[in-house]
Amino acid sequence: MANADRSIQHAGHRIRLRWIVIGGAGLFALILVTGLLERLHSRRQLHATTMAALVPSVTVVHPGGHAVDTLVLPGILQAWYTAPVYARTNGYLRRWYVDIGQKVTEGELLAEIDTPDVDLQLAGARAALGTRTAQRDLARITSRRWDRLVVQNAVSQQETDERRGNLAASEAARHEAEAEVGRLETLSGFKRIIAPFSGVVTSRATDIGALIVAGTAAAQPLFSVSDVTRLRLYVRVPQAYAARMREGFVARFTVPDYQERRFEAHLLHSADAVDSQSGTMLVQLVYDNTENLLKPGAYAQISFTFHGPGPQVPPSARIPASSLLFRRDGTTVALVDDSNHVHIQPISIMTDFGTELEVTGLTPRSRVIDNPPDDIAEGDPVKPREDGHAS
């Protein structure tokens, strides 16, 4: 019995020892697994943090709606007619009768030129015409006499024909002298400088006693006359608005000397062609200047107001100029899609307003990246940060 009890006690001791070893091993394994899991979790967190740090944060703006319907452009006012008045004969200015700012009528005398050389040439030409007339008359009398003598067989036919030839030559010489007198009379008539049309004298570049030399490349106009009852207003319109330009379109403009007043001009003509260098079309407007308020050559700011987009004008929106990307394939912007990845979108610039651009190819829902990195590419992940609207 005693031996059996001891055997049972020894077996129970071994069993307890075995469970202690198993429990210690299990505890060690649990500690090892827990540490390994914590290490894997930390590694995953570090990887996620590292990957998140690699995704750039970008500022996202939403394009403004359709661009404002007012287009403001610079222009220049010009007189309806402008004529520089030159001298057509040489001499010295005897007297001028009008000065800058004076109104003149068509045909009014502006100045007179003293032309002694032309006067002497005209006197000589008239004397030569008198000589040629006398020679012609004598040749005519002689020819008639010989015509009568040849009938009587008193002279030969050859001599009669010679007298007739002398008459024809004398008549031709007289016509030549008469043409020279007419030329010099016309040249002498240029001594009177007259206004080509009714208007205002806008410049006078001569004075009494000044030497007048006509017909040279260095010749300066003596006067300039402008018709300012109407003014032409020239402006270059971007190609995107060219289809909206129609005759009779009313535009308003301002000038620096009447800043609080707005004037109206009507579109008269357009070049109907786009300049390939500037991408604009030249438009001519007309302003009724009967009040004589505005001056030719003045600078003006013209406002074209459109009621909604034209039938051939694509929808447009405004974005910051800083959102542009210039790539080899053209002008683009970087958009953020629904999965926060980059999409490169081509656009077309319609109007440059300085810090903002009017473009086509976007909608108000587009998320445009402002100040995108130069190396941004299609499909790159980004962290968008909303910044509001472009306009």
pLDDT reading at 391 higher than 50: no
Q: Which two tokens stand for residue 289?
A: 């200047």
- For 267-291, how does the pLDDT look when each residue is reduced to its tens digit (9 = 90+)? 888 888 888 888 888 989 999 998 8
- Residue 211 domain-assigned? no
What CATH number did the domain enclosing 157 receive? Answer: 1.10.287.470
Kindly indicate the confidence band of residue 195, based on its pLDDT and cuts at 50, 70 and 90. very high
| Residue of 321, 389, 332, 326 lying closest to 355 (CA atoms) | 321
| Residue 199 resides in a domain | no
Q: Which amino acid is at 65?
A: G
Domain CATH code at residue 355: 2.40.420.20
Average pLDDT of the chain, as a whole number: 82
Query: Of 112 and 304, which is predicted with more confidence?
Result: 112
Q: Under a CB-based contact definition with an 8 Å cutoff, are residues 142 and 163 in contact? A: yes
Asked if 181 and 107 sit in the same domain, the reply is yes
The neighbour count for residue 60, using CB atoms within 10 Å, is 21
CA 93 to mean position of chain CA atoms: 42
Structurally, the chain folds into a number of domains equal to 4
Say how far apart CA 78 and CA 34 lie, in whole Å: 90
Q: What is the dihedral of CA 284, 289, 295, 296, to 10 degrees?
A: 30
- 91-137 pLDDT per residue, tens: 899 999 999 989 999 999 999 999 888 889 889 999 999 999 999 99
Residues 138 and 99 in one domain: yes
To the nearest 10°, the Cα dihedral for 226, 229, 235, 237?
-150
* Same-domain check for residues 91 and 184: yes
Q: Could you tell me the CATH number of the domain that includes residue 270?
A: 2.40.30.170
Residue 205 within a domain: no
Q: Can you read off the two tokens belonging to residue 57?
A: 């944060």
Mean pLDDT of 378-391: 74
| Residue 169 covered by a domain | yes
- Are 43 and 142 within one domain? no
Task: Give the model's pLDDT for residue 182.
Answer: 92
| Residue 336, pLDDT above cutoff 80 | yes
Mean pLDDT on 12-37: 75
186 and 244 share one domain: no
Look at residues 192, 144, 190 and name the one whose alpha carbon lies nearest to residue 167.
144
As a whole number of angstroms, the distance between CA 225 and CA 222 comes to: 10
Distance CA(271)–CA(249), nearest Å, equals 15
Q: Residue range 185-209: average pLDDT? A: 89
The alpha-carbon radius of gyration of the chain (Å, integer) is: 49
pLDDT at residue number 4: 59
Question: Shortest CA distance to 206 belongs to which of 85, 88, 297?
Answer: 85
Q: Please give the model's pTM, rounded to 2 decimal places.
A: 0.53
Domain residue limits at 257: 225-305
pLDDT in tens, 209-239: 888 888 776 778 899 999 999 999 998 888 8
Residue 226 near residue 79 (C-beta atoms within 8 A): yes
Higher pLDDT, 125 or 150: 125
On the question of pLDDT at 185 being above 60, the answer is yes
